[in-house]
Amino acid sequence: MILPKREYAILSSIVNSDSNIKPGINLVETTNITEIAGINTKEFKKAYKYVDALGGTVNDWSKRAGKIESDKYIFDIHWVQGTNGVMTEWKIKNKKLKEGIINESKIYW
C-alpha cells in the first residue's frame, strides 16, 4: 500500500523527529499489512472512539500493522483504518537497523 499524501507527511514527520534519523529520509511503501483487530479478526474494542470522532459504525474500523523501510531502518507501524479509507493514529512500534548496515562499529546481519 502506498500511503496517501497526508498520511505520508504525518508519518514522515514522526520518523524524522527521531534524533537518529536525518531529515529527508526516503520512505517507501507500507508492506506486510495485517489486521490486528476489527474486520475479519478479533473485536476492536476501541472502535467506538473512532465512530464518535470520525463516523461510521464499530464494524467500519480496524487496527492494522505493517512495515515501512527507509534507507537505513525498518519500522514496524500500527494505525487505525476505516472502510472509508481514513487512516489515523499512526504509531511506530519498533525501529530496527537493516541487515548489513554498520552502526557504532558493529555490523548487523
What's residue 50's pLDDT? Answer: 93
Q: Work out whether strand 102-103 and strand 31-37 pair parallel, antiparallel, or are unpaired.
A: unpaired
Which of 54, 107, 109 is closest to 80 using CA atoms?
54
Q: How far is CA 52 from the centre of its chain?
A: 22
Give the position of cell 557504532.
104
What's residue 55's pLDDT? Answer: 92
The percentage of residues in the chain with a pLDDT greater than 90, rounded to a whole number, is: 29
